[in-house]
Structure 1
Amino acid sequence: MDFKRSPVSLDRIDLSDDTFRITTNDDLTELALSISAIGLLQPPTVIVNQDGYIPVCGFRRIAALATLGRENVTVQALPADHPPLDTACLAISDNSSQRPLNVIEQSRAYRLLQDRTLSSDWQRVARSVGLPDSDQARKRIMPVAGMPDPLQRGILEGSIALPVALQISRFDVDSAAVLVSFFRQIHTGLNVQRELLDLMGEIALRDDISISQLLRQSGVSAIMENPSAPTPQKVRQVRQRMKILRYPERSRVEDRYHQALRSLKLDPRVQLLPPKDFEGKSYRLTLTVESRRQLEALQREIEKILKAADLLPE
């Protein structure tokens, strides 16, 4: 590698230039303590530009030195005409060799390679720097680095699953911001996230309202602002509210069914389960018994079900 190692002034290194930044870790506390105690073990790598230097590897090392009040740092400097692809690969490998890259770091790496690699050669280059080399992975991960910062933070903290983040990114800016704030509050799993996002999107489209209006008018905002309710309870209430708004007739049928079932006051050993989402035709009747005598006693419960006009279709 065509390095020139030399001391340079920190103010000549442009830390605002994120061209080659891969890491998402901005915490400098432990690194600064380490440098203060034992010094800088690995010099940062920079590339020469017209006004000084652009960081290639060691963004956090340079920033940590600045917080310690250092004025100079020994760097490995690449010439301005260093091959762009080699520079990009160096930046990526410096990170991927230390730890598995998270999805945002992978996205930054793909974007760095995108304009510096021939389309026919990208898989070989991706493998060489430790990136997934499938087209599917690249197309799925590539957009992440261009998402708004709050959405990226939601992905990093695990409150927004990647498939849901990709869907949110297709909404208008205001709606996406509202959705990001909502999902970062509830911290639920992928399936529930998908369900809620689909319901909200369908209701907003049908009623020609914004996501913000939907959450406010539906009472979801009030549910989320209730300080006394635990998060799982809030999620249940929001799901129920969204289902009622999306499928009002089905919700009315479901309410009538459960009211009729409760009014029978059936023995707990008798369970009548409706079709999932009331979309099928098959009901399941379950009897739990330990003897013939118990089974005979439950015949009266079955008679109650047969006489209940609102419970089962003819």
Structure 2
Amino acid sequence: MSPIHLTGPLLVDRAADRRDTVDLDAIDAIVVRDGSVLALDGQLVFVAPADQPAASLRVYLGREAGRDIAALVPVDPAFGTNDDGIDGERMVGLRDLIGSLALRGAEGARDRELAATAVAITTWHANHPRCAVCGDLTEPRKGGWVRWCERDKKEHYPRTDPAVIVAITDQEDRLLLAHASYWSPRRFSHLAGYVEPGESFEQAAHREVFEEAQLVLRDLAYVGSQPWPFPASIMVGFTASVDDAAFVLDQDEISEAMFVSREEIVALVADGTVILAPHGSIARRLLEGWYGGPLADAPHGEGFNG
């Protein structure tokens, strides 16, 4: 499998030195709520201060092209879903938006970065409002990048859960596609799983693949990584091969799998037997790296929302 480019340098300066000083009420903002962001025609919407809704949380995202940008969580839970005075702009799930932005190529890279950051950091605030030591409510500090416990005088920082994903080929250069038991029918991707305490990424890849399919990997190679805030992951991508392609599925996490050739995957997608991971995901990039280029979805096919 040829190397593929997944991510590069940050396109937005996170400007950590400005987090304590920027007036978050006076800068443009991305509106984000429950994993969705305000968008129009598949692009992020940047709302000027005078037009911003009342906010329950603001987080400083950084500077881009000389402009400070925040993430804003609206107080109104219905904002962006009804006729609230915004012309055509609606809250869009991050998965769907990532797919739309990926199809825009380099033009969508900045928006993907901002949207992923906004969803990840605001989700962390929503899920961790209390001190893990004493249970008291904490408050945002440092532009929203820290939560402060007044009782313990302790700072709490955002968490990111590392996970590995492995594109596996056999001796005929066929790719393994697997179906997780908790996915909707026909959705297939690579084997993946979370890194456990005390493991390296490589050890996690070997363990997860053996647990789920009893396959022994060789030539494990790092490819790239991608933030995946569903709710708080970073996906670390690898390629690997197996000498013995006879898998035994655990039937708990993985209920179906198959090795496919390039010709077979085209046919399986075209007739709707297989639904692929979305454009813009590391899973899709690993698959297309093996395939050798873009792989079209079936016309009017369903999305992959796992």
With structure 2 as the length reference, what TM-score do the two structures score?
0.25
Work out which of the two has the higher radius of gyration on C-alpha atoms and give 1 or 2.
Answer: 1
| Higher RCO structure, 1 or 2 (CA under 8 Å, sep 6+) | 2
Q: Which has the higher helix share?
A: 1
Q: Which has the higher strand share?
A: 2
With structure 1 as the length reference, what TM-score do the two structures score?
0.24
